Amino acid sequence: MSVKADIDFQKELFEAANKMRGSVAPADYKHYVLPLIFLRYLSNKYEQRRKELEQIVKDPNSDWYMEDAEMQQVIISDPDQYKAENVFVVPEEASWSYIMKNAKQPNIKEILDNAMKRLEEENPELEGMLPRIYQGSNLPAENVAGLIEIFSRDVFSANTQESVDILGRTYEYFISSFASSEGNRGGEFFTPSSIVKLLVAMLEPKSGIVFDPACGSGGMFIQSEEYASNKHALSFYGQENVVTTVRLGKMNVLLHGINAEIRLGDSLLNDQFPDLKADYIIANPPFNQKDWGADRLSKKDPRLIGPVTNSNANYMWMQHFLYHLNDTGTAGFVMANGAMTTNVKEEKEVRQKLVDEGYIDCIVQLPEKLFFTTGIPCCLFFLSKNRDGKNGYRARKNEILFIDARKMGTLVSRKQKALSKEEIDKIAAVYHAYKYEEAEQYEDVAGFCKVATIEEVQENDYKLTPGIYVGTEVSDEDDTPFEEKMAELTQRLLEQFEESNRLQEKIKQDLEGLM
């Protein structure tokens, strides 16, 4: 199946599935559709392994060869024969053939809930992943039957070896399409693929630990695994704050044959991996979170290198990432543009420390409209602990690479842009030339990239906007998000009120002295 045919097929599939939505809210609908794809995947894997075992026990050259039919059945039914191959055991009443056979029964919603329950009972590792929500939903039974029919097409059949790959790609396409149709809310669980691909191409995760403390539906892990030439050379750890999103992420990584440990919890207030040190951190944390609970942090929190403010969590996320890097690790993450220049006292103090102490490796300013939200322009920050020149990295502790990619990207829809493979490769190549000892010689390119010294950044009041350094005009557009601008203006106003009160008191005292 060609890429174009693949996309056309998935688009048609998504449109067909969407017609079955009935009165279910778009934001909720994915929680009914995506588990069905996962169920089909589990069933296929089990069926394929079962067929393998049926052949093995009858093959005289196999270690598991048995003449006795009863003993053959013992081996074929042994759960360990499936678990050894990372295949989950699927009981009869959860198999796709059983669900398909009963799709038009009036109690199909109850049958699906029971299938989810039985899968969890047989496979404790799946606990909490499979929602039992069909029976209590307002999704009509005939619509559920329509969805089952969609995922019963021949292309998904367990008899087709590539069906597992097709199901993985379909799941990802559906996640992306749901995110797109949900707008702002979609950005909470899905990062557009061109941004993920750029982060991964720049970070080059080849072996070691990959950590994403805002992992959403797990796209960073899937892209990292695709990038690594040695499969299974990476270990994946993630944290996510929304139960239903954790479920989507766990299903997504399993569908792609990846074992990732994803835990539920608020990364900033309830770090589920306090001792984890990663080779790569790759993340798209929520932008400009306010009232996130700064007052609940201990002053002795080991992650803190500076103060925090409850008006915006951006710089707390940065401190969290830095803390979780090992001594040669690098973090690449998405940030709102305002983080490059914010003058909110606490945030600026942390930014100054990150610059002065030599942790900021690279800043990439991205084109607008890359996100479904279309609202907040964003950039990429790279923090690194290998800047003193070890393990093949160039000593660059007194430098920061700035890349201005605002002119890149092409519209893929009326509202959204994407970066092409060539653009991603061009940005990644510049970063690699800058950071590796053996790489091609790095050169500044006017209007695109520039290596600035930390002293230059300090002279520019610690502003990290690439346009200041690469020689292009800084956009006249004021792209500071409203929430951040408001926080800055409020803080400045309060400071001015304080100064006004101080001056009033002084004038009063001076007047009293004259009387």
Mind listing the pLDDT tens digit for each residue in 212-231? 999 988 989 999 998 887 77
Q: Do residues 137 and 236 both lie within one domain? A: no
Q: Are residues 264 and 381 in the same domain?
A: yes
pLDDT, position 375? 56
| Pairwise pLDDT comparison (207 vs 71), residue with the higher score | 207
Model pLDDT, residue 477: 47
pLDDT digits (tens, 9 = 90+) for 344-364: 999 999 999 999 999 999 999
Pair 242, 391 in one domain = yes
Are 38 and 169 in the same domain? yes
Least trusted range by pLDDT, from 94-103, 375-384, 454-463, 496-505: 496-505
CA distance to 47, 93, 159, 273, per residue, from 51 (Å): 6, 18, 10, 40
- pLDDT at residue number 188: 57
- Is 473 contained in some domain? no
More reliable by pLDDT, 185 or 274: 274
Cα–Cα nearest to 420, from 198, 103, 246 = 198
Q: Cα separations (Å) of 342 from 337, 351, 361, 402?
A: 9, 9, 19, 17
Question: How many domains does the structure of the chain reveal?
Answer: 3
Half-sphere exposure of 54 (CA within 13 A, CB side): 6
Please check whether residues 110 and 205 belong to one and the same domain.
no
- Alpha helices, H only, 436-470: 454-459, 466-470
What pLDDT does residue 187 have?
52
Mean pLDDT calculated for residue range 372-377? 62
In a domain, 168, yes or no: yes
At residue 448, the pLDDT reads: 94
Do the strands 449-453 and 260-264 form a parallel or antiparallel pair, or are they unpaired? unpaired
pLDDT for res 143:
92
Q: What is 108-132 written as a DSSP string?
A: HHHHHHHHHHHHHHH-GGGTTTS--
CA Rg value for the chain: 27
The SS3 of residue 415 is coil
Residue 474 has pLDDT above 50, yes or no: no
Give residue 182's pLDDT.
64
- Say if residue 248 is in the same domain as residue 326: yes
Do 491 and 343 belong together in one domain?
no
Same domain for 213 and 69, yes or no, is no
Do 470 and 447 contact (CB within 8 A), yes or no? yes
Q: Residue 4 above 50 pLDDT?
A: no
Same-domain check for residues 312 and 163: no
Task: Tell me the pLDDT band of 515, cut-offs 50, 70 and 90.
Answer: low
Q: Which pLDDT value is given to residue 472?
A: 61
Strands (E) in 337-386, as ranges, are 360-365, 378-384
Least confident span in 67-76, 257-266, 436-445, 453-462: 67-76
Instruction: Work out the pLDDT band at 189, boundaries 50, 70, 90.
Output: low
Q: Is residue 374 over pLDDT 60?
A: no
Report the percentage of the chain scoring pLDDT > 90: 54
Choosing from 139, 157, 182, the residue where a domain stops is 182
* 333 closest CA partner among 384, 368, 375: 384
In a domain, 144, yes or no: yes
Q: What per-residue confidence (pLDDT) applies to 60?
A: 76
Encode 151-185: b = buried (16+ Cβ within 10 Å), e = exposed: beeeebebeeeebbebbbbbbbbbbbbbbbbbbee
| Helix 141-150 × helix 26-56 angle, to 10° | 50
One domain, residues 417 and 268: yes
pTM score, whole prediction: 0.83
Residue 84, domain extent: 1-182
Residue 514 lies in a domain: no
Residue 250 main-chain phi, psi, to 5 deg: -65, -40
What is the pLDDT at residue 476? Answer: 42
Angstrom distance (rounded) from CA 181 to CA 195: 18
Spatial distance between the Cα atoms of 467 and 264, rounded to a whole number of angstroms? 39
- Kind and range of the H or E element at 238? strand 234-240
> Predicted confidence band at 466 (pLDDT cuts at 50, 70, 90)?
very high
On whether both 319 and 457 belong to a single domain, the answer is yes
pLDDT at 485: 62
Cβ count near 67 (within 10 Å): 9
